[in-house]
């Protein structure tokens, strides 16, 4: 069971799943916007607004659906995932990176050697 937990939390599985969900929803927004933008304007405005597939309302509906879906995914998937990941795999304490520490040692060594000569 720990192997499965490592698979879920160490990899980018959840990140990829969220990207697919959000990308699909955004694709619907782009499609409805394109349909609305490229729709042929009929002679009367009542006919234009009655065409549900190519109306501004369909685009607005897709935008609202996208925002709701993004909020649901964020609060029900991303937030618990981040908390669980931090619980099972805590991030290392903040400190000086190894290369910076090595450069400091070299600097101190060179500064100490300059005074001896």
Q: What are the sequence ranges of the domains in the chain?
A: 2-116
Per-residue confidence (pLDDT) for residue 40, from 0 to 100: 64
Average pLDDT value for residue range 107-113? 86
Per-residue confidence (pLDDT) for residue 25, from 0 to 100: 94
Work out the number of other CB atoms within 10 angstroms of the CB of residue 105.
10
Q: pLDDT by residue (tens digit) across 78-97? A: 999 889 888 887 877 777 77
| DSSP percent split of the chain into helix, strand, coil, nearest 5 | 80, 0, 20
Q: pLDDT by residue (tens digit) across 6-55? A: 777 776 888 888 999 999 999 999 999 998 888 765 555 555 555 556 67
Q: Nearest-CA neighbor of 60 among 23, 18, 28, 21?
A: 28
How many degrees, rounded to 5, is the angle at CA 54 between CA 60 and CA 56?
30
Contact, 66 vs 26, CB < 8 A? yes
Q: Retrieve residue 94's tokens.
A: 């903040």
Question: The whole model's pTM is what?
Answer: 0.63
């Amino acid at each position: 069971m720990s192997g499965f937990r490592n698979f879920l939390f160490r990899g980018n599985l959840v990140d990829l799943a969220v990207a697919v969900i959000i990308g699909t929803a955004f694709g619907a927004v782009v499609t409805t916007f394109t349909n609305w933008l490229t729709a042929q304007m009929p002679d009367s405005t009542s006919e234009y607004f009655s065409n549900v597939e190519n109306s501004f309302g369909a685009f607005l509906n897709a935008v609202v659906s996208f925002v709701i879906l993004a909020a649901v995914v964020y609060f029900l998937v991303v937030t618990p995932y981040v908390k669980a990941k931090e619980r099972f795999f805590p991030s290392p304490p903040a400190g000086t990176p190894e290369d910076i520490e090595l450069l400091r040692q070299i600097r101190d060594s060179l500064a100490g050697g300059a005074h001896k000569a």
